[in-house]
Structure 1
Amino acid sequence: MGVASDKPRILHNNRDMVWSLVPLVLFCVLIAGIASQCTFSPGGPTSGPIPSFDVDAALKYDAQDLPFPVRKPETPEGWTPNSGSRSIVSGDGGGDSSTVGFITEAGRYIQLTQSNAVETVLVPFVAGGPRTATGTEDVAGHSWIVYGGEGVEPIWVSDFGDVRLLVTGSASPEAFEQLTTAAADAPILAA
């Protein structure tokens, strides 16, 4: 009498595959738990601390290095600067851009981009694709063209001669008005 051999491969089914994967999945969960790379949060995600960002130093540096006037807006109390970047807006009519982002007192994100790129190139660059103007807002003596639409964050942009100012984010329309007013009234930093 001999020992029974494994059943022929043609007789393997989905249940055999599942039972083969169970030890592998348990091993992966064990390794992830040991490495502390996963957590269980039954109430859903929670917001963590806002990253700190020195907006003053970033804009002063940009003012010295970029070929257009850079403004440093005074944001409302309770707003926290959390990010900044510089980019090259490519394309015909492109240029340099300086972006700083804030978390409003209500916990929403809003950003200000300053650029010497033309509006028709800057808006799709920031939006990640083409947008259509949906209206205008008159704030602080300047006309701001609004690019909106269903399911997208609004973009407000205004031409200040040598520079275009663009505001976007998930913040409220009141926050947009506050930042556009602050940007329009902000002094130009020394180059």
Structure 2
Amino acid sequence: MSMVSVTCEDGRVVETEPGGHRPPGRAGLRMRDMIGAVVVLLAIVAVMVTLTRGCSFDPGGPNVSPDTAPSVDASAKLRDAARSAPFTVRQPELAADWRANSSSTSAVGAGAAASVVVRVGWVTPSGRYLQLSQSGGDAQDVRETETGESDRSTGTVEVDGVSWDAYDSRRDEQAWLTTIDGVVLLVTGSGTEAEFRVLAQAAQTAPPLT
């Protein structure tokens, strides 16, 4: 079979069989490369959108979307903890726009000061996060466990006649701590000062669960 000479767009001359396909030129290769790059870029953007769907940036602190955050039954979790905790556990009454989304219990302190910390966290009305920790342990042990800090006090805050000590916490957040009837109450998170006050007031006035 005789071969046919074909001149490409870039000036190259190649031999091909009659009726054969002409080799792609540089323009064809460039277009195919561009399409491949666009497909890869779109895949990366889709992954980033999926990972950041539940959060938004706020100069005052991270925001959490109530629509995508998990939820827990705070009442059930606190009642379960009250049955086994060696101290009285309180259940703060909060408005419906406070959405409980986390809970945990862990040990704190050692020896005679050993106890547990009972935690519940909420997505606040502003879309931020606050956590209430309750413990029968030593106040300093609880503070160090919950905030990662030791003695960096920033002053005191009065909430309806109750004095709370304010401290620096993780991620440039604040922590408020008080002791009522031998039980340490600690509020920490990225909420606004008004939201700190709401949770602190609800915690200090809540009757102990029995």
Pairwise same-fold verdict (TM > 0.5): yes
**Partner residue, 2:123:** 103
Secondary structure in structure 1 of the residue aligned to 2:125:
coil
**Partner residue, 2:69:** 50
Mapping for residues 31-110 of structure 1, pairs under 5 Å: 39-41=46-48, 45-47=52-54, 49-91=68-110, 93-110=113-130
Using the TM superposition, give the Cα deviation of residue 111 of structure 1 relative to its aligned residue in structure 2, in angstroms: 0.3
Distance in 2, Cα, partners of 1:74 & 1:150: 26
Using the TM superposition, give the Cα deviation of residue 110 of structure 1 relative to its aligned residue in structure 2, in angstroms: 0.2
Give percent identity, aligned residues only.
34
Q: Deviations over 1:124-169 (max 9, x none)?
A: 1111243411100111221100002796211100011221100000
Secondary structure in structure 1 of the residue aligned to 2:103:
strand
Show structure 1 runs of 5+ residues with no match. 1-29
**Partner residue, 1:116:** 136
Distance in 1, Cα, partners of 2:110 & 2:50: 45
The answer to whether the Cα contact below 8 Å between 1:140 and 1:184 also exists between their aligned partners in 2 is no
Structure with the larger RCO, 1 or 2 (CA within 8 Å, 6+ apart): 1
- Distance change (3 Å), C-alpha of 1:42 and 1:149: closer
Q: Structure 1 length as normaliser, TM-score? A: 0.74
The answer to whether the Cα contact below 8 Å between 1:69 and 1:162 also exists between their aligned partners in 2 is no
Distance in 2, Cα, partners of 1:150 & 1:122: 14
CA RMSD of aligned residues (A): 2.8
- Distance change (3 Å), C-alpha of 1:38 and 1:86: farther
Q: Structure 2 length as normaliser, TM-score? A: 0.68
Show structure 2 runs of 5+ residues with no match. 1-39, 55-64
Distance in 2, Cα, partners of 1:150 & 1:166: 14
Whichever of the two has the greater Rg, that structure is 2
